[in-house]
Amino acid sequence: MANIGGRIVRKCQILTALVCGSAALVAAGCDDCSPPESECDGDTLRVCTRPDGDGPFITAEWSETKCAVACRALGGETRCVNTAEPVTTCGRAANACIDGVLTECWYGYTFPQPACATGTICVATPTCGAMCLADDVPEPRCTATTSSICDGNSVATCTCGFVTARRDCGAGFCQETGGGTRCTFSTAPDPLCGDPAQPSSGYCVDGIAHECWHGFVIFTYDCRSAPCVEHAGAAPTCPQVTPAPASN
C-alpha cells in the first residue's frame, strides 16, 4: 500500500507541474512565487503568500490588490501610493508635517498617519524628524538622559529635547527625585514610607494599601475584605483579590 500511495503522490505532483507549466493557465494561479516576494503589475500590487496547511498541493500564490492611484516598487519594497509622482514636501526625511498632519515619507511618496492626540501638534524636529509634540519649541530641561520633568504641577514626558505630552497631577503634587518624575500625594515624603532612597516601598493602614516611591505616596487602594500585606522594598498587596482603587 505504501508503494501505491507513493506512486499516486508522484503522479499527482507531475500532473500539477504539467498544468502549471501551461502558459494558458499561468494567469489562472499557477504563477510560481516565494513569500514574501511582491511586485507591481501596472497599478496592481501583487504579494506572494502561502496558504495555511501542508502537503504536496499547498503552494505559494499571488494575492492582488488594486491600488487606488498607483503601485511602486522601490528599494526592495512594493507599496500602493496615493500620488502618481513623489512630492517635494518630504525631501529625504522619513516623515514630515504636511498641512499639520504627521506623514510617513517613502521615497517621496506620502502616507498620512493618525491625527496627533488632543493637546499635541505635528512638529518637524531637527534631530528626530516629524513628531507629535506638546510644544513646538525645545525644552532645555529635556536632556538626552531625561525622560520626564515636572512642568508646574504636571509630569511632562521628554523626547529628543521636546515635551511630547503632559499629565496634570490634579490634586496631587509633581515631584522629581531619584532620576524620575511622579505625581505624589504630598509635597514632602511620608515617614511611614520608610527610607526615601528606596524606589519602591509601602505600608498598610486600616486595610488601605499605600504604594510609595522614594518616600512619597503615589497610589492607594482598598483591600476590601482581604488582608493588606506589607513587603520590604515593594508595594503592599491584597492577596487573592483585585484591589479597588481608593484614590490616585
| The pLDDT of residue 15 | 40
Q: Are 77 and 67 in contact (CB under 8 A)?
A: no
Q: What is the mean pLDDT of each run of 10 residues along the chain (248 residues)?
A: 41 41 42 88 95 78 95 95 90 88 94 94 94 96 94 96 95 92 95 95 96 96 93 92 60
CA 198/CA 192 separation, integer angstroms: 13
Distances (CA, A) of 229 to 12, 170, 210, 237: 68, 29, 11, 5
Give the pTM: 0.68
> What cell was used for 101?
498632519
Q: How many CA atoms, within 13 angstroms, populate the side-chain half-sphere of residue 107?
A: 15
| The pLDDT of residue 18 | 42
AA identity, residue 32: D
The alpha-helical segments, DSSP class H, found in 53-210 are none
How is the chain split into domains, by residue range? 32-51+58-85, 95-168, 173-247
| The pLDDT of residue 240 | 74
* DSSP line for 180-201: EEEEES-SS--GGG--TT-SSE
Closest C-alpha among 175, 244, 241, 231 to residue 203 = 231
| The pLDDT of residue 241 | 52
CA 110/CA 90 separation, integer angstroms: 8
| The pLDDT of residue 22 | 42
**100 CB burial (10 A radius; 0-12, 13-18, 19+):** exposed
Q: How many CA atoms, within 13 angstroms, populate the side-chain half-sphere of residue 45?
A: 18
| The pLDDT of residue 53 | 73
